[in-house]
A = this chain, B = another copy of it.
Amino acid sequence: MPEYASLSRTELEELHQKLLARYAGYQAQRLKLDMSRGKPGADQLDLSLGMLTCLDGREACMAEDGTDCRNYGVLAGIPEAKRLFAGMLGVAPDEIIIGGNSSLNMMYDMMARAMTHGVPGSPTPWCRLPKVRFLCPCPGYDRHFAICEHFGIDMIDIDMTPDGPDMAAVKRLAESDDSIKGIWCVPQYSNPQGYTYSDATVDAFAALKPAALDFRIFWDDAYCVHHLDSHPDHLKNILTACRQTGRENMIYIFGSTSKITFPGAGVAMLAASRANVAAILRDMAAQTIGSDKLNQLRHVRFFQNMAGIEAHMKRHAALIKPKFDKVTELFARNFAGTGIASWTTPHGGYFISFDGPDGCARRTVELCRAAGVKVTPAGATFPYHRDPRDRNIRIAPTMPPVDELATAIELFCLCVKIAAVEKRLAA
């Protein structure tokens, strides 16, 4: 295919007509496809059906310490669940709290507590401060940014690189401005790029000396076991690294089984230093008597141990790797030589990050929508939905069956091209 930049106006106009004719063909199909969220497909959910019935009868409901998991109590989680998921996040069992079905909820609650009460080291609750700022590596996860927006926390864009956030910028900002209270991170298979932070990035975080005494890294390790192929990325242990620099209270690690078992009925978790865990449990004692222990027990019985989780994740990969491959194959075929697009090819996680020409993302998404394909809104991967170059779109390939995905991606590529041609024609 010719490079778009080299096309004459006449060639662009011809191309535009051809693309519009193909687009009309898609419109006639009246598609109704959804690639907007990182939802597992039904076949993936079937992998965990055994969990539904693995607790049967009174005896099955007893935790290893004799706790009747049907009844009240056990704020931090049952011992066997703490052990299993501490292993998954690379922390000790007394450095983890098992929550309800949503790690997002645990992040929100953490931020809410910081607002009303502060965190260990806070001179004052954050809601009493004239200004609270957060660093937001972007493109990033829209729901992280929504939490900041909800609490009126100002967000500062930080560029993402294949090694993680631009740590020079993080250091410069965090170490000079004590209104900057934290940073959002998806350190492994980042949302949406699928990048994994390098050891140097993790070490730079551990070495950070923030101006705010109560600076916190919200380390959303959502995809810690979500490898797609036999070359998984390796993420250096942040809690260990921070312990070595004497800054272990700087980190809150979040995880969940939402994309391991059931997104709607998984188990969420928060890992942190023992001092942080103690402070959180003190606050949580006013909030709840305890999370759903039966669901914790279901997870433990279903997986038994980390090897069980790893084997399970291989079965997920077998189902979704072909979808990732299909997307990158179609991107390569459609955009080879055009010079109008780039994308990531992650070894894990749930997303592919796509960059089209500057100023074309909103138009691309609108064209997709008008032809019946829903994709993540343009701008969603940036704070305040403001993509400064209007070029990034998050691709979520897991939910549709592979043939529907192929149709949706073909249309998506077509829409990118139309938007790109329109942009050049308007220039």
Q: Give chain A's interface residues, CB within 8 Å of chain B.
A: 37, 39-40, 42, 45-46, 48-49, 52-53, 55-58, 60-61, 68-74, 100-102, 104-105, 108-109, 112, 115-117, 125, 127-128, 143, 146-147, 149-151, 258, 262-265, 283, 285-295
Known contacts A100-B292, A108-B287, A264-B294, then 20 further A-B pairs from the complex at CB < 8 Å, ordered by chain A residue: A42-B58, A45-B68, A46-B58, A52-B53, A52-B55, A52-B60, A53-B55, A72-B258, A100-B101, A100-B291, A101-B291, A102-B289, A105-B288, A115-B127, A125-B127, A150-B283, A264-B290, A264-B292, A264-B293, A265-B295
CA distance A57 to B285 in the complex (A): 36
A72 to chain B, nearest CB (A): 4
CB-CB nearest in chain B for A268:
B288
Contact, CB under 8 Å: A56 / B53: yes
A2 to chain B, nearest CB (A): 41
List chain B residues, Cβ under 8 A from A60.
Answer: 52
CA distance A150 to B73 in the complex (A): 19
15 residue pairs A–B, Cβ–Cβ below 8 Å: A45-B58, A45-B70, A46-B58, A101-B291, A102-B288, A102-B289, A104-B288, A104-B289, A105-B287, A108-B287, A116-B127, A127-B128, A147-B287, A262-B294, A295-B295
Contact, CB under 8 Å: B292 / A292: yes
Contact, CB under 8 Å: B265 / A70: yes
Contact, CB under 8 Å: B105 / A116: no
CB-CB nearest in chain B for A52:
B55
List chain B residues, Cβ under 8 A from A45.
Answer: 58, 61, 68, 70-71
CA distance A264 to B262 in the complex (A): 19
Contact, CB under 8 Å: A72 / B263: yes
List chain B residues, Cβ under 8 A from A150.
Answer: 117, 283, 286-287
Q: A108-B287, A286-B108, A289-B102 are in contact. Are A264 and B57 (CB under 8 A)?
A: no
Pick the 5 closest A-B CB pairs, nearest first.
A150-B286, A265-B294, A72-B263, A108-B287, A70-B262
Contact, CB under 8 Å: A49 / B39: no
A84 to chain B, nearest CB (A): 18
CA distance A264 to B108 in the complex (A): 22
Contact, CB under 8 Å: A265 / B288: no
Contact, CB under 8 Å: B70 / A263: yes
List chain B residues, Cβ under 8 A from A72.
Answer: 37, 39, 258, 263-264
Contact, CB under 8 Å: B288 / A71: no
CA distance A39 to B67 in the complex (A): 13
A322 to chain B, nearest CB (A): 20
CA distance A196 to B61 in the complex (A): 34
CA distance A372 to B147 in the complex (A): 48
Contact, CB under 8 Å: A286 / B149: yes
List chain B residues, Cβ under 8 A from A151.
Answer: 116
Contact, CB under 8 Å: B39 / A71: yes
CA distance A19 to B132 in the complex (A): 63
List chain B residues, Cβ under 8 A from A115.
Answer: 116, 127
A267 to chain B, nearest CB (A): 10
CA distance A102 to B71 in the complex (A): 12
List chain B residues, Cβ under 8 A from A39.
Answer: 71-72
CA distance A49 to B70 in the complex (A): 9
Contact pick for A293, options B69, B108, B265, B291, CB 8 Å: B265
List chain B residues, Cβ under 8 A from A108.
Answer: 286-288
List chain B residues, Cβ under 8 A from A290.
Answer: 102, 264
List chain B residues, Cβ under 8 A from A58.
Answer: 42, 45-46, 49
CA distance A37 to B73 in the complex (A): 10
